[in-house]
A = this chain, B = another copy of it.
Amino acid sequence: MSTPAALETFERFLRQKGLRVTGQRKAIFEAALSQKEHFTAEQLLERVRALDPGGRVSRATVYRTLPVLTESALLREVDIGTGEMFYMPNVGKVAQVAQVVCLDCDRIFEISAPFMEWYGSTVSTRLGLTPVSQRLQVSARCDTLKRTGTCRYRDQAGPRRKARLTG
């Protein structure tokens, strides 16, 4: 569940941008903020419909609303290079975080990476650029899986890109 305070933040943001406060936008907002894990646009749509069976929210509106939510800093976009975009409620401060993606269970772990910002500006400045954002992502394999045959984590949508040249 989302806090009423967050909803107000959202409505304020909408009005401030000259956008209308519609039922769909509020429903999508509620569904998004109620997520505990990373989620895709499709998963968000399911959740919206689950939370409000009577409501009519289309896929298109979800896709059109997601950018609004990320620009209002209520959500954070996470691209792990699987072809689909992931989103995450932006609880607390917008700390610099990196992702560790397990290639076995497809789970996304977030870890703080405070040095990233420093690094980005150091390198960018040298190139005559001003850093806007930085992403660090580690792909890894599950040790437990290798030993016991099972991974203790399981969920999340899997990468689209197929294994290559497995021979």
Listed in ascending order, the chain A residues whose CB lies under 8 Å from chain B are 17-18, 67-68, 70-71, 79, 81, 98, 100, 102-103, 109, 111, 113, 116, 119-120, 123-124, 127-144, 146, 164-165, 167
Contact = CB atoms under 8 A, between A and B. Distances in A.
Contact of A100 (B129, B137, B142, B165): B129
Contact of A130 (B18, B71, B141): B141
A55 to B, nearest CB: 24
Contacts of A100: 123-124, 127, 129
A136 B139 contact: no
Contacts of A138: 119-120, 123-124, 131, 133-134
Contacts of A129: 100, 102, 140-143
A106 to B, nearest CB: 12
Given A17-B167, A102-B129, 18 more contacts: A67-B165, A71-B164, A98-B123, A100-B123, A100-B124, A102-B127, A109-B127, A113-B119, A116-B136, A120-B138, A123-B138, A124-B138, A124-B140, A127-B140, A128-B144, A130-B140, A130-B146, A131-B138
Contact of A79 (B70, B81, B113, B124): B81
A160 to B, nearest CB: 12
A138 B137 CA distance: 12
